[in-house]
Structure 1
Amino acid sequence: MSTHLFQAAVAGLGWRYVLGTLRTTVAVTSLAEAARAAAACAAVTGDARLDLRPDRLVLTIEPCTPETVSLAGRLTEAIRGLDLETAPAQTQRIEVGVDALDIPAVRPFWKAALAYVDTPEGPDAHGAPLIDPLDLAPAVWFQQMDAPRPQRNRLHLDVSVPHDEAESRLQAALAAGGTLVSAAHAPAFWVLADPEGNELCITTWQGRDG
């Protein structure tokens, strides 16, 4: 199933496809209410990640398969059974991108320094990032360089947002003093820079497959 179909299947349920996951948030008024909502979700499945806060419950399902789309529907039903609603607001995932000429040479350093682990696909998978085993900190991935670029920073952030929030995030960054470096690959990603030239990419699932 393509990412277009994943997003279309869960859009009406209040979920969004973001960086290989299905994600949603549930607004609550207390940590106790978040715990009640989490308990209702846990009764449905043990395969979703539940992040409890005093004002929200964040639900994450991965990997994306036809079965997880069905699971998102059942979780939404459980949440609605508590007179709460799922909504994609403030859903995002952040990655740190490192440009490197020799990825096998630099990758072990980052893995050791951050105490990160390989993804299930392993270090040899194309573009495979390093991930926090606790899933609390951003993933780190490595972009292949074909020549040294001493005039340009080689470390940048990727902020993956729901496709229907990308434009507002882009405009907010530009209004805050950023500049648009490139939109050549939009809507897959826009390259922005801060006033000193440090770069950040706003990315979505769109434009990456059929």
Structure 2
Amino acid sequence: MTDDATTTVLRRPEAAAALDPLGWRYILGIACTGVPVRSVTQAAEVAAIAGAACGDDADGHLWVDVRADRALLHLQTLALAGVTPVDVRLAAAVNAALAARGLGTSPDVGTDAPRSIQVLEIAIDALDIASIRPFWKAVLGHVDEAGASGPTDALIDARRQSPAVWFQQMDAPRPQRNRIHFDISVPQDEARHRIRAALDAGGVLVSDLEAPAFWVLADAEGNEVCVTTWQGRD
């Protein structure tokens, strides 16, 4: 049984400072990393190694996406929807177990990486969030996140396969502006690489007033996307 000190959700800077040296990254309340592999079979082995390293805590903290070229590992104290000291301890334990098998974690950040780890969200602007939230919950099959079941709270995919959806309060109708946009949440050391690539691909910078929490970009027709990090939020 863990005590209260180990099940307290870490503040963003604390979580990032603890995870970065381990080759994990803090993104939207989740500890994330990848393990390069040679096959789906090896990725499944990574999942088994990580599960064994987490022991009895695995079911309440760990989930793994298995791919042919990598296993994507995620740790979060699911009952609290955040990263706690338990998750940091589990990340270190997973690293040690992988290292014993000649494997290592990598968030794949930088200009030469195929793509960093990231988390995608969809943001919907609304005048009356409470009136539209039930529709999106039903049509997407999403659920409330732990501790966030209010009429304006975000919605998540219980199986962690689809983007979360959150709602942004509007003060007045904006018929000439798109009201659904993507949020691409990336490691803090990936953001500027991603922004530069988007601008080089024909995008425009709409606003960096809230950077490094988020930058607002748009395509050539004005459709917006935010590149976000944990920084600047605490």
Q: Does TM, normalized by the shorter one, top 0.5?
A: yes
Q: Tell me what 2:141 maps to.
A: 115
Residues 37, 82 of structure 1: 8 Å contact kept: no
1:67 matches 2:93:
no
Ranges in structure 2 where 5+ consecutive residues have no aligned partner: 1-9, 77-81, 109-115
AA in 1 matched with 2:95: T
1:165 matches 2:178:
no
2:150 to 120, 124, 139: 124
Residues 21, 60 of structure 1: 8 Å contact kept: yes
Mapped partners of 2:160, 2:46: distance in 1: 21
Ranges in structure 1 where 5+ consecutive residues have no aligned partner: none
1:52, CA displacement in angstroms?
1.0
AA in 2 matched with 1:105: S
| Matched position secondary structure for 1:26 | strand
AA in 2 matched with 1:28: V
1:147, CA displacement in angstroms?
1.1
Cα offsets for 1:132-171 (capped at 9, x unmatched)? 1221010111000111111211110000000000000000
What TM-score comes out, normalization by structure 1 length?
0.96
Mapped partners of 2:131, 2:191: distance in 1: 34
What TM-score comes out, normalization by structure 2 length?
0.86
Residues 97, 155 of structure 1: 8 Å contact kept: yes
1:15 matches 2:15:
no
Q: Tell me what 1:140 maps to.
A: 165
Q: Tell me what 2:201 maps to.
A: 176
1:123, CA displacement in angstroms?
2.8
Residues 119, 129 of structure 1: 8 Å contact kept: yes
Runs of 4+ in 1 over 3 A off after TM superposition: none
Cα offsets for 1:84-131 (capped at 9, x unmatched)? 110111210000000000000111111111111111123317x63111
Mapped partners of 1:198, 1:121: distance in 2: 32
Which runs of structure 2 are paired with 1:1-210 in the superposition (5 Å)? 1-45=10-54, 46=58, 47-62=61-76, 63-89=82-108, 90-124=116-150, 128-209=153-234
Mapped partners of 1:146, 1:140: distance in 2: 20
